[in-house]
Structure 1
Amino acid sequence: MSAGQGAAADPFVRLEGVSHVYGGAAALKAGTGTLAVDGLDITIGRGEFAAVVGPSGCGKSTLMKLATGLQFPVGGTVSVAGEPVTKPVKIAGMAFQAPNLLPWRTTLDNLMLPLEVVEPHRRRLRWNKAEYVDRAERLLASVGLAGFGDKFPWQLSGGMQMRAALCRALIHEPQLLMLDEPFGALDAFTREELWCVIRDLHQRTGITVVLVTHDLREAVFLADRIFVMSARPGRILVERTVGIARPRDLEITYTAGFQEIVHELRGHIVEARR
């Protein structure tokens, strides 16, 4: 399917004609900037699970930062939930390849950190701490970390730390979850376990998810639609709907239909690198 087909009927995340330069507007003005993305168009529906793949350095992480208001484009428009993105998006949660848990905080206290920053939770936290602690403990239990709230990061395995980081991204009940290579540093078995954690979270909450990944199997297993980006400056070359029924289990990854989609995407990325 070519870019632009199959666009979501209920747009939740939309980038239209977006261009961005490494270093932002100042680098552009000084003439020292390099285009990260150019003419980037992408639309993701409310409740959809989208994945973005492409060659290294194609602007996948830049797309994530633009969609969450961590950076702003030098051209084009970005909107989330129908509102122009002019500041960090409060209704978004983010998880990265490194869990980045604060070593002096327990797992539970690490989860509570966004609540100390994001309004209106910041104001409510002092008077409703027990309610928030209960929410955090339920989140931990949902990813298999019941009873680990009092542990410090160094007492958790890499996979457990990533589970905790996912809970931290979800603690303020965001409407949008952005995942930037969250499982890249994990072993294959742990990575597949966490695919199932994310699958179940998405199915249970209906949250909109955008996943940036180099792992094509991961993209096909998790996503409703996959966007393939060109080499830098990045733009969408191909949009591929994953026609595999949900719920999906790991056995599906060994089927011919699954492998065909993976090989098709690999072919697009090979072409994109040329």
Structure 2
Amino acid sequence: MTGFVALEGVDHAYGASNQLAVEGLSIEVEAGEFAAVVGPSGCGKSTLMKLATGLQFPRAGTVTVAGERVTAPVKIAGMAFQAPTLLPWRTTLENLLLPLEIVQPHRRELHRKRAEYVARAKNLLTSVGLRDQGEKYPWELSGGMQQRASLCRALIHEPQLLMLDEPFGALDAFTREELWCVIRDLHASRKITVILVTHDLREAVFLADRVFVMSARPGRVVVERKIDMPRPRDLEVTYTPEFQDIVHELRAHIVKARQ
């Protein structure tokens, strides 16, 4: 496989368990592509994310990112989850800077480049509609604002790969759609590779270049669906027959995958 992110023939189980979370899992995502992964609950979507970022290692098969076999946590990846997990005792700006205090080479350069990193953080906040919110604490922000800040934190070290695990699942419908547009615009402007794990088929079809459908556990890819609708996509496209047809098609695949 030659993709920017590639899993080939991967089996994985947790701990000493012999019950596989994924089996024979193969998936390939090209550089700059926006991929979405959907499937029944417990099918191994989050396991895929952990394998691709080096938080877990497979029992069998290979995982490569940017041409390198994954044998340690992937430094060129940023991650955002359903819960923003911002530290309540740090301001929003300080939360954004946290990865730079941990990830090399930024950690050793933080003191010397602090002004540059602070400017980068402020620019990110501005890009997601949070200008002048950097001095507020997480508890002073709405849920949607916290999730925007979480996205910025995932991007602060300028990763080549962004992994999103149900990042909008806990938000109301209107806020969720607003953030679809935020991540759409971030992907378009930064040209990074994005893998989104989601249960929301509308979200997957609106954002992705390709959608991968996984089987019930042990998970593997059973369907790959290219989304040919032109970019940039406006929210109005979600009400078109073409869009709805793709959503219904994917839903049918998932129903079949659960059987």
Q: TM-score normalized by structure 1?
A: 0.94
- Letter of the structure 1 residue corresponding to residue 239 of structure 2: Y
1:47 paired residue number: 32
Is structure 2 residue 22 aligned with structure 1 residue 34? Answer: no
Deviations 1:126-146 (A, max 9, x none): 111000000000000000000
Aligned mates of 2:107, 2:10 — CA distance in 1: 33
Residue matched to 1:147: 132
Map residues 189-268 of structure 1 onto 2, 5 A cutoff: 189-268=174-253
The superposition leaves residues 210-258 of structure 1 with CA deviations (integer Å, 9 ceiling, x where unpaired) of 0000000000000000000000000000000001000100000000000
The DSSP-based 3-state class of the residue aligned with 2:233 is coil
3-state SS of the aligned residue for 2:21?
strand
- Amino acid across the alignment from 1:48: E
Q: Are 1:133 and 2:118 counterparts?
A: yes
Partner of 2:173: 188
User: Match of 2:64, SS?
Assistant: strand
Separation (CA, whole Å) in 2 of partners of 1:203 and 1:63: 24
Q: How far 1:117 sits from its partner (Å)?
A: 0.4
* Counterpart in the other structure of 1:269: 254
Looking at structure 2, the residues matched to 167 and 245 of structure 1 have their Cα atoms a distance apart, in angstroms, of: 26
Aligned twin of 1:81: 66
- CA deviations on 1:113-136 (whole Å, 9 max, x unpaired) are 000000110011011100000000
- Whether 2:96 is the aligned partner of 1:91: answer no
Q: Does 1:15 align with 2:33?
A: no
Q: Distance in 2 between matches of 1:38 and 1:123?
A: 40
Q: Percent identity?
A: 76
Deviations 1:28-72 (A, max 9, x none): xxxx33200000000000000000000000000000000000000
Cα RMSD after superposing both structures: 0.8
Moved segments of 4+, more than 3 Å: none
Residue 101 of structure 1 and its aligned partner are, at CA, apart by 0.2
State the alpha-carbon separation in 2 of the partners of residues 12 and 104 from structure 1: 37
Secondary structure of the residue that 1:199 maps to in structure 2? helix
With normalisation by structure 2, the TM-score equals 0.99
Counterparts of 2:14 and 2:174, CA distance in 1: 35
Matches within 5 A, 1:142-181: 142-181=127-166
- 1:13 maps to a residue whose letter is V
Query: Quick one: distance in 2 between partners of 1:97 and 1:22?
Result: 22
Q: How many residues align?
A: 259
For 1:3, the equivalent position in structure 2 comes to: none
Stretches of structure 1 that go unaligned for 5 or more consecutive residues are 1-6
> Mind listing any 5+ residue stretches in structure 2 that lack a counterpart?
none
SS for the counterpart of 2:196 is: strand
